[in-house]
Structure 1
Amino acid sequence: MKHLVRTAKQMGEAIARERRARGLTQAQLADKAGLRQEAISKIEGGNPGTRFDRISKILAALDLEFTLGPRTKGSPQDIESIF
């Protein structure tokens, strides 16, 4: 499934959805990614200070990847979710 991600909060929500879809707990994902459960919790909570290398480890553990593309015009709901 594709997720539109423009903010740390949206990234965290997308990771949480994918983790749950795979039936993993935060602790299980942390173990697969070589991180602590607390790190997964912070990232899923939208921590804006998360380092890219941690996101990369989580995406690899979930067998996901980034795809970059031109920014689409957002709806008013997309704009509201940023704030």
Structure 2
Amino acid sequence: MDYALLISRLGNQIREKRMNRGLTQAQLAELAGLTRYKIIAVEKGTLSVGMIAYARMLAALDCELAVIPAAMPTLEELGGLFE
């Protein structure tokens, strides 16, 4: 499994949680003690974001990270790898 795909999936899941809670990126940034730019980087799947930023965002969303077997990439995800 490509690590960039895993980071992308995590960013998408965090974005979904944020939106389901009715939070803007700025509001989540304030709750997590991060900048809005860091929230954007995580949601975009930027590879250079440190684990502490993920931990702070997950804590602000009252979520935790669980390790599960990776699912096969979807056709949409595969297409995104070639952009």
Q: TM-score range by the shorter chain?
A: 0.7 to 0.9
How far residue 23 of structure 1 moved from its aligned partner, in angstroms, is 0.3
Name the CA distance, whole Å, in 2 between partners of 1:33 and 1:27. Answer: 10
Question: Which of the two has greater helix per residue?
Answer: 2
Tell me which residue corresponds to 2:38: 39
Name the CA distance, whole Å, in 2 between partners of 1:26 and 1:44. Answer: 10
How far residue 9 of structure 1 moved from its aligned partner, in angstroms, is 1.0
| Identity over aligned pairs, percent | 33
How far residue 69 of structure 1 moved from its aligned partner, in angstroms, is 3.0
Number of residue pairs aligned between Structure 1 and Structure 2 = 78
Alignment RMSD, CA only?
A: 1.9
With normalisation by structure 2, the TM-score equals 0.77
Name the CA distance, whole Å, in 1 between partners of 2:44 and 2:22. Answer: 18
With normalisation by structure 1, the TM-score equals 0.77
Pair 1:20 & 2:19 matched: yes
Tell me which residue corresponds to 1:51: 50
Name the CA distance, whole Å, in 2 between partners of 1:13 and 1:52. Answer: 16
- What does the per-residue CA deviation read over 1:5-26, in whole Å, with 9 as the maximum and x for residues that have no partner? x611111111111000000000
Unaligned stretches of 5+ in structure 2? none
Kept in 2: contact 1:7–1:82 (CA 8 A): no
Kept in 2: contact 1:19–1:62 (CA 8 A): yes
